[in-house]
Amino acid sequence: MKNKNKNEREVVFWPGNIVVAEAAIAAGCRFFAGYPITPSSEIAHALSKRLPEVGGKFIQMEDEIAAMGALIGASLTGLKVFTATSGPGFSLKQENIGYASIIEAPCVIVNVMRGGPSTGLPTALGQSDVMQARWGTHGDRPVIALTPSYLDEVYSETIRAFNLAEMLRMPVFVLIDEVLGHLSERLEIPDPSEYELIDRPRPTVPPEEYIPYDSSQGDVPPMADYFTGYRWHTTGLNHDKTGFPTTDPKICQEEEERMERKVSSNLDKIISYDEFMTEDAEIGVVAFGSTARAAMVAVSDARDKGIKAGLLRPITLWPFPEEPARELGKKVKGIVVAEANLGQMIYEVERVAGCNGPVIGSNKVGGVPIYPGEILEKIEELV
């Protein structure tokens, strides 16, 4: 369903997975490689039709490993690229995500989370890939993971994921969940003039002078497109500024620190969060994704009962929004962390918040949402 409102914004009623697909196109994505997996399959299905309409390419690979490899190859040619998957596919992609990280290939990976482990609950809600997003690959590498809660955020955060991937030359994750992937709600599509699109830095020197990982150009070196006259080497091994392998400890240390610094020195551009009634809160609640919607209702219900509760909602889950969590921890006497898993983000909240009171979880892994009343019960335990 489409319509126009009085401000000429397009008004749609789409499920979240279609919002992801359309936002990716709006962000400039012109290549998708994937393999069908519930509950993300509608993204691939939509793009199989939509990408050719805008001059893009869609390819269904034989499995998730190959899909991630194709994604990297297309990124090296200069295209904005992404893939979509769910838990088991996310696991399979991890080795190639590590490869994309070390060669610094911009790409976006959308994970529509479901229950697990293994095949788990293919068609039901889960939020248990939080730590996998942070630590899924081996080795040290920077991580950005965005966790929208509403479909307008799914749209804007998908675009932002592409911008961050291009700006910092790295993989970026968008973590939504089955509820958001299949939920439909009214959405006003922003006009392209309302948002910025960022392209990766490209070299301004002639091909014979190009050095692919020249840190004198800054922490994010210009990236030449394959097949444009530039030639450069990619490898999963630690490499020097030429892209060729090295085992020099000093160079390896400097290069890995540079990659980490791409994120750590840009936190003001990366970290995003929302707060609801935290100004005078005595009980804190932290939640993300679709669970944060229930948490907001629980906080309102607590207020109706005279309990001063407040919600911190990370929109950027990695890097974790440490400063607002620390400020919340200073003012409250306890924190409830609501998440559709058996406890993952709670450990980050405990580490950062420094709360003098208890930090307790409201957790569920049965494939159904955590209800506002269940979060309210946990809030009342801390009064």
Rg of the chain (C-alpha set): 21
Paired sense of beta strands 335-339 and 359-363, if any:
parallel
User: What pLDDT is recorded for position 8?
Assistant: 78
Q: What is the pLDDT of residues 1-46, one digit of tens each?
A: 455 554 678 999 999 999 999 999 999 999 999 999 999 999 999 9
User: What pLDDT is recorded for position 3?
Assistant: 58
Q: What is the pLDDT of residues 302-335, one digit of tens each?
A: 999 999 999 999 999 999 999 999 999 999 999 9
Q: Give the predicted TM-score (pTM) of the model.
A: 0.96
Taking the alpha carbons at both ends of the chain, their separation in whole angstroms is: 46
Give the C-alpha separation, 327 to 188, whole Å.
Answer: 33
String of DSSP letters for 252-302: HHHHHHHHHHHHHTTHHHH--EEEES-TT-SEEEEE-HHHHHHHHHHHHHH
Please list the rounded mean pLDDT of every run of 10 residues in the chain (383 residues): 63 97 98 97 98 98 98 98 97 98 98 95 96 96 97 98 98 98 96 95 96 92 96 96 97 97 97 98 98 98 98 98 97 98 97 95 96 98 96
Give the C-alpha separation, 46 to 102, whole Å.
Answer: 31
* CATH class given for the domain over 275-381: alpha beta
Instruction: Please answer whether residues 55 and 28 qualify as being in contact, where contact means their C-beta atoms are separated by less than 8 angstroms.
Output: no
Task: Name the CATH superfamily, with its identifier, for domain 2-194.
Answer: Thiamin diphosphate (ThDP)-binding fold, Pyr/PP domains (3.40.50.970)
Instruction: Please answer whether residues 352 and 324 qualify as being in contact, where contact means their C-beta atoms are separated by less than 8 angstroms.
Output: no
> What residues does each domain of the chain span?
2-194, 207-268, 275-381
User: What pLDDT is recorded for position 38?
Assistant: 96
